[in-house]
């Protein structure tokens, strides 16, 4: 008989041979057949989304969930650039009615300064339904099944799928009213409350009213036993439901940009029943809240949530469908982005998010085909792959063979080097003569500071050099040749060429610093760059020193931690600095306000970090901010850009690009950070994915066959050795018996 060890070896051999007979990948993270399903697979890093409550969510990694589940009144056209606002649950993009301080209605073209009140009456599409949810479930008598919950009913319930009954109802204007009231609730602590309270009539006073109610309740009972704060019982005049499908919002003064806030999930509808459902005792202890199990009318709903492991969005069965856009940028048709024109979205049945803590295994699985998109909320993976393809012919060939789509778009963001307008050397200057000299110094630095080289070295060419403060995709942006900064560039054959350093040296001489020295004293010109981190020895800072050294200006770096840097910016003591801005909404006002005088950081704590002051710019800004999109507004934006190009309070820097990486079987892929509800537009070809996964992950079996052969030989030798030993023992016993 074989020994136990030999038996184990033969069993192992049998298992190995059976495994070697399979035709599919053995390293697949999918269950059998999942790769063939209409599911999009992607990843998330670090942690699960923390806040999915629309009033609290303010992080980019949460937006793939919130903008797929919730529906604000408005949204953005997926393909159009400049970005175009479109209705979502609203019937149309409504224009407000204007009133003066006496309550008299004003014409639509009334000067913004005369407008005391803007009233938006927004019609909501009838028939929109919320996703199925237990908060909306009713029993046979019409009462709510899960309100109030009895003692013990929450036992063993840690997810929405643990509640067997669900219900739905129609979206009403009152759901938006309730959402606005939640922004002011102290129990929600919305990060957007302060901004909205500046614009929505009565919202700040309403917040104070809710605060007093909450304080009274907290003082008389334990935190866990506070009653639900029913926001239907209190109200304010600024947001009302005129009827079941008409929402009225009153905004202070004229603020055309308010419409963009209605495209953010902060203002997405929240049913009062859901707020009440999650307010019940014990819900927090079971991790049941709007932060973990949101409720919306959008194309998807959260159906599986394992914190820090896996989340699944599934098609909302109550979603009405939204047509795919039929127009876009000129290149969109050639890229196949218009093929689904008019078809109802979403196209994908499920979106599965899996945790990948490290980028290396994430990209490894992406290259194996197991992820369709590395991360939908981040554009740096596409940039990284484009850079890698540029650096390595082997990787470029690999990406090409895999059919990976590497697309990029310039984002509504700007990074710039700023001059402190209060500084006597690089700032505005005290006298007209000094102002002109300081301007020429800034322009000389602008010519010497080669942003094209900066983008090539430090952004791997994945950014667009800026000629002004307004980025592409924003109304008022001008491409070449109209948008060129003539102070820094010349135009040749349609291309912008940086002026020669001799022009910078001449400007430096006219500024009173011939050959980089003060004309009166002969002392070298030393400028200071305030850095927000490090010890001032990074490659970027060394590069900056060399740029100014090319015109004999010495640059000293004053490096501090970020808190100290912010202190310098607040008190206006920095001389030169680098900063950036990411747009909240796609309007030129959201960039030009960074140079508006009353927004000076050192005086008013605003976002004008350069403390730039120009009365003409301020007057134009005040005219522009009240205008609706159109030729008049665009002309004013161009005038303001011309002014700051001449004054040079900034070296305009660059607009970063967002890069998308998509497998060949992902359709309708267009990278963007402004449009957040992208998941509903993607299309998947599951059959192609399954075929490619099989092709790219063919198991290499010969080592196992070799191992099996070695095991077999070893087993045979062990068996033969054991047999020979048994024979020898038997013979020895036989001889002993005969001798006896």
Paired with 248 in beta bridges are 121, 240
What are the DSSP calls for 303-354, one per residue?
A: EEEETTTEEEEEE-TT---EEPPS---TTTTTTTTTTTTTPEEP--SEEEEE
CB 239, CB 173: distance < 8 Å: no
**Is residue 526 classed as helix, strand or coil in its secondary structure?**
strand
Query: What is d(CA 299, CA 109) in angstroms, rounded to the nearest whole number?
Result: 38
Give dist(CA 160, CA 179) in Å, integer. Answer: 21
The set of residues, in sequence order, having a beta carbon less than 8 Å from that of 186 and lying 6+ positions away, is 207, 210, 211, 214
pLDDT of residue 406: 92
Q: How far is CA 565 from CA 9, 252, 337, in A?
A: 67, 35, 45
- Contact between 665 and 405 under an 8 Å Cβ cutoff? The reply is no
12 close to 4: Cβ distance less than 8 angstroms: no
Beta carbons within 10 angstroms of residue 70's beta carbon: 27
Give CA 79 to chain center in angstroms: 17
List Cβ neighbours of 1 (8 Å cut-off, separation of 6 or more).
none
Alpha-carbon distance 350 to 680, whole Å? 10
SS3 of residue 140 by DSSP:
coil
Tell me the C-alpha distance between 204 and 200, whole Å. Answer: 8
What stretches of 42-189 show up as alpha helix (H) in DSSP? Answer: 63-69, 173-183
- Cα(358)–Cα(620) distance, integer angstroms: 49
> Nearest CA to 679 among 66, 6, 162?
66
So what's the pLDDT on residue 357? 87
Instruction: Report residue 104 CA to chain centroid gap.
Output: 42
Two tokens at 523? 């002392």
Q: What is the C-alpha to C-alpha distance for residues 291 and 516, in angstroms, rounded to an integer?
A: 58
Task: Tokens 């009827």: give the residue.
Answer: 243
CA atoms lying within 13 Å on the CB side of residue 307: 11
Distance (Å, whole) CA 262 – CA 585: 10
Given a contact cutoff of 8 angstroms between Cβ atoms, the answer to whether 300 and 315 are in contact is yes
**Reduced 3-state DSSP string for 657-705:** EEEEEECCCEECCCCCCCCCCHHHHCEECHHHHHHHHHHHCCCCCHHHH
Q: Say what the pLDDT of residue 10 is.
A: 52
Closest by CA to 684, choosing from 465, 369, 248, is 369
β-strand pairing of 239-243 with 246-252: antiparallel
Residues of the chain with pLDDT under 70: 1-24, 26-27, 222-225, 533-537, 700-705, 726-740
Judge contact between 261 and 585, C-beta under 8 A. Answer: yes
- Are 228 and 279 in contact by the 8 Å Cβ rule? The answer is yes
Cβ neighbours, 10 Å, residue 153: 13
Separation CA 387–CA 184 (nearest Å):
45
What secondary structure does DSSP assign to 236-284, as a single string? Answer: -TTEEEEETTEEEEEEES--TTHHHHTTSGGG----HHHHHHHTSTTTG
Q: Compute the distance between CA of residue 164 and CA of residue 137 in angstroms, rounded to an integer.
A: 10
| pLDDT in the model for residue 643 | 98
Question: How many Å apart are CA 2 and CA 715, to the nearest integer?
Answer: 9
| pLDDT for the residue numbered 158 | 94
Can you give the pTM of this predicted structure? 0.88
Residue 672's nearest CA partner among 685, 694, 651, 656 is 656
Q: Is 282 left (phi over 0), alpha (psi -120 to 50) or beta?
A: left
How far apart are the C-alpha atoms of 211 and 729, rounded to whole Å? Answer: 94
| Sheet containing 310-315: order of strands | 39-44, 350-355, 310-315, 300-306
Question: Is the previous residue joined to 458 through a cis bond, with omega within 30 degrees of 0?
Answer: no
CA distances from 26 to 34, 62, 703 (A): 14, 33, 15
Question: How confident is the model at residue 1, as a pLDDT?
Answer: 46
Could you tell me the two tokens for 469? 């403060």
Domains of the chain: 72-286 (3.90.76), 413-658 (3.10.105.10)
Whole-number pLDDT of residue 705:
63
**Phi then psi for 686, rounded to 5 degrees?**
-65, -35
DSSP 617: H
Helix (H) or strand (E) holding 289: none
* pLDDT score at 722: 72
The whole-angstrom separation of Cα 122 and Cα 259 is 11
CB 251 within 8 A of CB 196: no
């Amino acid at each position: 008989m074989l020994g136990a060890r030999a038996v184990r070896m033969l069993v192992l051999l049998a298992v190995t041979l059976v495994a070697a007979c399979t035709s599919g990948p053995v390293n697949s993270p999918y269950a059998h057949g999942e790769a063939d399903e209409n599911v999009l697979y992607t990843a998330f890093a670090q942690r699960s989304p923390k806040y999915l409550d629309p009033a609290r969510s303010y992080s980019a990694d949460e937006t793939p969930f919130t903008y797929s589940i919730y529906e604000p009144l408005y949204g953005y056209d997926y393909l159009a650039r400049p970005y175009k606002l479109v209705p979502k649950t609203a019937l149309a993009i409504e224009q407000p009615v204007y009133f003066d301080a006496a309550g008299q209605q004003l014409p639509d073209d009334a000067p913004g300064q005369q407008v005391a009140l803007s009233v938006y009456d927004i019609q909501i599409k009838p028939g929109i339904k919320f996703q199925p949810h237990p908060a909306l479930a009713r029993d046979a008598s019409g009462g709510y099944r899960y309100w109030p919950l009895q003692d013990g009913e929450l036992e063993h319930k840690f997810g929405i799928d643990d509640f067997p009954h669900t219900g739905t109802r129609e979206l009403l204007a009152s759901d938006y009213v309730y959402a606005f009231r939640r922004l002011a609730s102290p129990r929600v602590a919305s990060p957007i409350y302060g901004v909205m309270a500046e614009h929505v009539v009565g919202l700040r006073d309403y917040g104070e009213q809710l605060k007093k109610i909450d304080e009274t309740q907290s003082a008389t009972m334990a935190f866990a036993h506070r009653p639900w704060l029913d926001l239907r019982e209190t109200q304010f005049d600024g947001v009302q439901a005129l009827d079941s499908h008409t929402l009225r919002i009153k905004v202070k003064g004229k603020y055309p940009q308010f419409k963009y806030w209605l495209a953010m999930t902060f203002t997405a509808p929240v049913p009062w029943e859901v707020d009440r459902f999650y307010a019940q005792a014990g819900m927090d202890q079971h991790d049941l809240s709007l932060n973990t199990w949101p409720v919306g009318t959008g194309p998807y709903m959260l159906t599986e949530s394992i914190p820090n492991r896996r989340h699944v969005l599934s098609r909302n069965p109550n979603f009405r469908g939204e047509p795919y856009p039929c127009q876009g940028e000129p290149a969109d048709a050639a890229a196949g982005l218009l093929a689904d024109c008019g078809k109802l979205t979403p196209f994908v049945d499920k979106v599965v998010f899996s945790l990948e803590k490290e980028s290396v295994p994430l990209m490894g699985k992406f290259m194996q085909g197991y992820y369709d998109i590395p991360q939908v909320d981040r554009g740096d993976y596409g940039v990284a792959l484009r850079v890698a393809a540029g650096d390595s012919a082997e990787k470029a060939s690999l990406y090409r063979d895999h059919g990976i789509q590497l697309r990029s778009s310039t984002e509504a963001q700007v990074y710039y080097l700023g001059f402190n307008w209060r500084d006597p050397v690089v700032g505005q200057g005290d006298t007209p003569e000094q102002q002109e000299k300081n301007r020429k110094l800034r322009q000389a630095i602008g010519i010497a500071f080669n942003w094209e080289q900066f983008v090539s070295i430090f952004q791997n060419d994945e950014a667009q050099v800026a000629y002004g403060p307004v980025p592409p995709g924003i109304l008022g942006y001008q491409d070449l040749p109209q948008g060129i900064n003539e102070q820094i560039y010349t135009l040749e054959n349609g291309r912008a060429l940086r002026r020669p350093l001799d022009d910078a040296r001449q400007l430096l001489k006219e500024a009173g610093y011939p050959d980089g020295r003060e004309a009166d004293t002969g002392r070298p010109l030393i400028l200071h760059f305030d850095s927000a981190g490090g010890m001032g020895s990074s490659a970027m800072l060394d590069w900056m020193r060399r740029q100014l050294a090319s015109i004999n200006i010495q640059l000293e770096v004053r490096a501090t931690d970020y808190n100290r840097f912010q202190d310098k910016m607040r008190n206006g003591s920095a001389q030169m600095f680098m900063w950036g801005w990411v747009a909240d909404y796609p309007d030129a006002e959201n960039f030009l306000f960074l140079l508006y005088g009353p927004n000076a950081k050192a005086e008013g704590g605003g976002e004008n970090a350069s403390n730039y002051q120009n009365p003409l710019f301020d007057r134009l800004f005040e005219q522009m901010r009240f205008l609706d999109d159109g030729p008049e507004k665009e002309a004013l934006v161009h005038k303001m850009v011309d002014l700051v190009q001449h004054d040079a309070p900034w070296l305009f820097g660059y607009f970063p690009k967002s890069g998308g990486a998509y497998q060949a079987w992902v359709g309708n892929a267009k990278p963007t950070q402004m449009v957040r509800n992208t998941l509903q537009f993607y299309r998947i070809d599951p059959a192609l994915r399954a075929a490619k996964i099989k092709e790219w992950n063919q198991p290499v079996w010969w080592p196992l066959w070799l191992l099996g052969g070695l095991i077999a030989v070893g087993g045979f030798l062990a068996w033969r050795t054991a047999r020979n030993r048994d024979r020898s023992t038997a013979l020895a016993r036989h001889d002993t018996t005969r001798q006896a």
